Structures are given as structure tokens and as C-alpha cells.
Chain A
Amino acid sequence: MKTSNLIRVAGVSILKNKMRTLLTMLGIIIGVGAVIVMVAIGEGAQSQIEQQIQSLGTNMLIVTPEAASQGGVSMGAQSRPRLTTEDAEVLASEAFLLAHVSPVINSFTQAVGGTGNWRTSVLGVSPDYQQIRDWALGEGVFFDEAAVRSMRRDVVIGSTVAENLFPNGDAVGQRLRLRDVPVTVIGVLEPKGQTAGGNDMDDTILAPYTMVQTRMAGRQFIGQILASTSSPDDLGPAQEEIRQILRDTHGLAPNEPDDFTVRNQGELADAAQGMTQVMTLLLASIASISLLVGGIGIMNIMLVSVTERTREIGLRLAVGARGSDVMVQFLVESVVMSLAGGVFGVALGVAGGQTIAAFTGWNTLVSPATIGLALGFAASVGIFFGFYPARRAARMDPIEALRYE
């Protein structure tokens, strides 16, 4: 049979039972809608996390003093944190592939000044920190190498700190006390938003690490070293370079494990992406159960339809339809039905995703790939669940079918 005839025949019989068709399609509509909404939530979360990881900085490498675990067993016990500002300085001067290096010393402190006081984290860093984090200044300047060398008491504050202590926006030039150390605000950072974990990145004060170490933290060891390369391609080699230099500086014997860990931003992104992908997959597979149920609904109705139309099938066979014509007719019917359900389901899913986004403030994202996948899935549900009824129709004996009451 010609394709145009086929579509016509299928369309005619679908439209003749509007209510039944609609109810049958409802299963697919809900199934596809649910899959779209779930994937939209998953992909929305994923893109949000990607953005957040991007906002950490560019081409970033993170060195932490914790030991690498080997075979799942942490080797931390015999390798206590031994990351020092000297390590950062060695890396800065020796590592070939690193564009910027900054130690990070974290000290949680009460900041007093302006309109009151504010508890926040003071990070002792080097001027390179600004480039590594790719963090623009809203006002003022960032402290320089000279400030680090002379342990100058200049600080740059995050926008949250600025808003709370200097609501009038006149932070630059003001004085603050961090613990008992008087400092001068020389710059205010642009807002950067929240981390993936929900921490406010703008709730921070940046100060020269030398100053923080001697006047505030009083510790020899530091929390982490941040570094960056000029190109993302260098991340891998730079990781290895850092490892070699630090093993050297730490004087580790070849059989000793590393007493530090070097991770790059890509790995962080991969880990987070892996997690959200698992979540998306989980949500989608739960939702696709309803699509499966919808498919069973289609099969059920197609079986009823085939039985009901036995005489029609007999007639078609008698006037010259081949078994394959009848088979294709019923398959087209179930595919048209499930595809139409898929189209409505996509509309429902997109609307549902937006509604959820509006009510919860979550990020939802419906990509064309998701829509294509959902429609393809709906069509294959139609073929899969339409196959058995269609084959039953095609194998009918015309004589018996014509006699059927």
C-alpha cells in the first residue's frame, strides 16, 4: 500500500474513536511528560553545577595535604599535613607549566569595623589568587607582591562582607579589625555567588598570606595550594609536575606514597557530573516506568481494536490486502498514537518543568536531545507494543475473519 494511503487509513481509524484514542494516548502523554520533567530537573542541576565549578576559577589545580588513598585505604595516618607556604613558593619558582600559584591559609575570624562586626573566613593568599579564581574587583585594588613580602595589613573583602559592614558602599579606605589586627580595606570583590555546596563565596576576606600566617593563624602548615595553567591542555602534565616537585621538596623516598593530593578542576567537574548523571538516569528510569505502563495501555487497546475489527481485517484481506499491509496498518496506527502522545507529552513536560522551576527556584533544562530522545522512545514503545496485536491481525485467516460476529 502507498504510504499516503497507509497514513490515511491509520488516521481515519484513530480519529473515529476519539475518546478511546485520547485515553490510550494519556498513558504515553504522562509517561513522556514525566521523563521530560525528570530529565529537565537532572540536567538543570547538572548545568548549575557545571557553572559553579566554572566559577571556581579557570584551569585550576588544587593541592591539599591529605594523602592519596591507595586501594581505598587512606594513608593519612603516617603522613600528617605537611603543606607549607614554602611549598607554594617552590612551585611558583620551579614549576614550568604553572601560570599562577597561591597558598591558601584559612582562618575563621570576627571582623570588627564599619557598622558593626561580622564573622567570616579570612583567606591568606598571594596576588595570584585573583587570577586563579578569575575574580574581578568591583572597587579598589588587589594587594601586590610587595604587600606579601612586607606582610602589609591590606585586605580585599568579598561583597557579602562589604554589604554587611559597609552598607553605604564606602568600604575602600576603611579600617577593620580582624581579631586584634587592624587592617585597611583596599578593594571590594565582584559578587561570585554560591558554591555547589551552598556556601556563599562572597562571604570572605582576602589578605596577604604572610600577614595571616604570622599575625593571625600562627600555623606553619597551610590548608591548600591553588595553582593554574594557561591552557586546559596543560592541566594533566602540570599535575604530574607539581607531584614531582613536591615529592622532591618533601624528600619522599620512591617507595613512599605522596603525602599530598593534586586534583584539577576537570576531575572535580567529572565527579560532580558523574553524580548528577546518575541522578538524572535514576529519575528518568523511574519516570520511564510510566511510559512502559502507557505502552501496555496501547497494546491493550490495539488488541481490543484488532478483535473488534476482525471483519474489517477479513474484508481487507479478501479484497487483496497482504498480511504485511494489515500488519503495517496496525503498526502505523499504534506508532501514530504513541508519537502523538509523545508530542503532547513533550508539551506537558516542558510546561511542567517550567512550573517546577517557578515554584521551587530549581534550574530546569529541556534540551532538544531530550525531546528527540523522548519522542524516539515513544515511537519505539508504539512499535514494540503494537507489534504483537498487528501480527495477530496480519495472521488472520480471511475466511474466519469474514465470518466473525
Chain B
Amino acid sequence: MEPDAGDPQRLIEARHIERVFRMGRTEVRALRGVDLQVQAGELVAIMGASGSGKSTLMNILGCLDQPTRGSYRLEGTQVETQDRDELADIRNRKIGFVFQGFNLLPRTSALENVELPLLYDRSGRRFNSRRVAAEALDRVGLADRMDHDPSELSGGQQQRVAIARALVTGPSLVLADEPTGNLDSVTSLEIMALFQELHAEGVTFLIVTHESEVSRYAERIVELRDGRVTRDAPVQDRGDARDDAAASLDAEWTAVA
């Protein structure tokens, strides 16, 4: 396959990515030559057991880390040659993060949490960061919870705030690392439903997970094992998280009744 940086739809172009960690004298080869292409607008699940290298891959794709060897192009930008500050700017402009532990600032309102990435905007654009943040919260259905502290929100609501924070800069790519890992199954389904809705609006998602229930709602599954891609295939019978969430709620009500 020839590299075609000119393709406007091509968001991620990773070639032969290797990542080696040195721990004392031993070398740990976390990634052993990963190739991955993602088009803009995809909803991809990256699967793998712990130790498969999926977190390392996510860190590299999220520009938090750089490959030891190989090349990574994000929207045509060669990432591995950028310095620390340039990587920070790329993360700010192009990438939104959603974490397993939500990572919201405590004692800080939902609105201010969502506003955080805008404080580091260096594009020189003029905007009202409060309003942009409020719009992002509205998108995830939390317009009425803006002034609440994280401690006053449920886990699902906290994750929605985190998703609003990831969306607020209008990123090209949202990276979610085990986004449902700390949530119960119904709330997990609701979060996946939110991902599917946002995906329908055109947001590109890369969801790292080890739960196959979660990956069912993606369009495509990339499976990693021992630092290599062992499977890269579209999802056959893709689930609708909204319906499933409703169904499981019904089931719960029936059980209670």
C-alpha cells in the first residue's frame, strides 16, 4: 500500500509503530510494528487483553507518547518529529480524551471542567469559552447540571462531563480509554449510546476497551495481542446502544415488578 497523505479522509496513518520501554537492563517491546489507518468519521474499538499494548498504542495515537520506531501521521502531520510543546498543541487542537476514571477536577463546576482545554487554546481564535463549554455540555445532555461539582454528579453524568470536555475544542479525534470501566452496565450502554449519537453527527471515535460488549457498538474492531494487530475487521451485527439500554432498563423494571 502506498502512503497517500493527500487523502483528506485519512485521519490516522500509523506505519510499523514500535515502542520499546527500557526498564533497567531489560527491554519491554510493548508494540512490535503496528499498522493502522483510520478514516475521519469512523467509530473504532481497539481491543486486547491487558499487556497487549493497547494502552501504549492509545498514548501514541493521542500524542502523549512517541513511537520508538515507525511513523505516525495525524491529519497529515508527522507526529514523531514534534517536540513536547508541539505535541501539547496538537493534543489541544485535534484530540479529545475520555478516561476510565473521568479525571475531572474536584471542587470545580462541570462548566469549568469543560472549559479547561479552551484555556490552553493557542490558535488566537476569539471565542467566549463559557458559551462554547455550555454548548458542549448541552450536547451531552447536561445543560441543567452546569454548576454542579463532580461530587454532586453520578458516574454516568461525570463521564458525560468528561465527554463534553473532550468535544469542546472540536477535535478531529476522540480517544476514549476504557470509558465504561467504572460504570454499571446500564450506564455503560447510555455512554455508548452517546458515542453512537455523536458519531452520527460526524465525530471520530477510537475506543480502547477489553469488554466485547462495548466493542459491539463500534463499526470496526482492531484487536491487539503481544504488541501486534491480530484482527482488523468491521463489526457484523452492530448493536444500537440506545435500544439496548432501553431494553435492559425494561428488564430491570420487570425484575423489580
**Taking the complex as formed, is A124 at the interface, i.e. its CB lies under 8 A from any CB of chain B?**
no
**Distance of A100 from chain B, by nearest CB (Å):** 74
Q: How far is the CB of B131 from chain A (nearest CB, A)?
A: 15
| A398 on interface, CB distance cutoff 8 Å | yes
Partner of A319, one of B59, B85, B107, B120: B120
Would you call A317 and B88 a contact (CB within 8 A)? Answer: yes
Q: Is B108 positioned at the interface, with any CB of A under 8 Å from its CB?
A: yes
Docked Cα-Cα span, A29 to B121, in Å, equals 37
How many A-B pairs have beta carbons closer than 8 Å: the answer is: 57
Q: Is the CB of A399 within 8 A of B65?
A: yes
Cβ contact of B64, chosen from A5, A318, A322, A325, cutoff 8 A: A318
A320 and B88 form a contact (CB under 8 A): yes
Q: A223-250: which have CB < 8 Å to B?
A: none
- Assembled-state Cα–Cα distance A353/B163 (Å): 57
Asked whether, in the complex, the Cβ of B97 is within 8 Å of the Cβ of A316, the reply is no
CB distance from A391 to the nearest CB of B (A): 14
Report the Cα distance A398→B99, complex, angstroms.
Answer: 13
Tell me the nearest residue of chain A to B108, going by C-beta: A12
Interface contact A319-B91, CB-CB below 8 Å: yes
Q: Is B165 an interface residue (CB 8 A)?
A: yes
Given contacts A318-B91, A319-B92, are A325 and B105 in contact (CB under 8 A)? Answer: no
**Residue from B62, B88, B103 whose CB has the most chain A CB atoms within 10 Å:** B88
Q: How many residues of A contact B (CB 8 A)?
A: 23
**How far, in Å, is A400 (CB) from chain B's closest CB?**
10
Total interface residues on B, CB under 8 Å, equals 25
| Contact indicator B84/A319 (Cβ below 8 Å) | no
Shortest distance between the CB of B242 and any CB in chain A (Å)? 29
B231 to chain A, nearest CB (A): 26
Encode A1-41 as 1/0 by CB contact (under 8 A) with B: 11001000100100010000000000000000000000000
- CB 8 Å contact bits of A290-317 with B (1 = contact, 0 = none): 0000000000000000000001101111
- B105 to chain A: closest residue by CB: A312
Contacts of B104-129 to chain A: CB distance below 8 A: 105, 107-108, 112, 116-117, 119-121
Closest CB of chain A to B217's CB: distance in Å?
25
Q: Is B80 an interface residue (CB 8 A)?
A: no
Residue of A nearest to B96 (CB): A319
Contact B120 A321 (CB under 8 A): yes
Kindly state whether residue B89 has any CB partner on chain A within 8 Å.
yes
Closest to B175 in A: A318
Q: Which residues of A contact B121 (CB under 8 A)?
A: 320
24 sample A-B contacts, Cβ–Cβ < 8 Å, listed by A number = A2-B119, A9-B119, A316-B116, A318-B62, A318-B64, A318-B97, A319-B91, A319-B120, A320-B89, A320-B117, A320-B120, A321-B92, A321-B119, A321-B120, A322-B84, A323-B85, A323-B88, A324-B85, A325-B120, A398-B64, A399-B59, A399-B64, A399-B65, A402-B99
A interface, CB within 8 angstroms of B: 1-2, 5, 9, 12, 16, 311-312, 314-325, 398-399, 402
Shortest 10 CB-CB contacts between residues of A and residues of B: A320-B92, A319-B117, A320-B120, A322-B88, A5-B119, A322-B85, A321-B120, A320-B91, A315-B103, A398-B64
8 extra A-B contacts, CB within 8 A, seeds A316-B116, A320-B93, A321-B92:
A1-B119, A2-B119, A12-B108, A314-B103, A318-B62, A319-B120, A320-B88, A323-B84
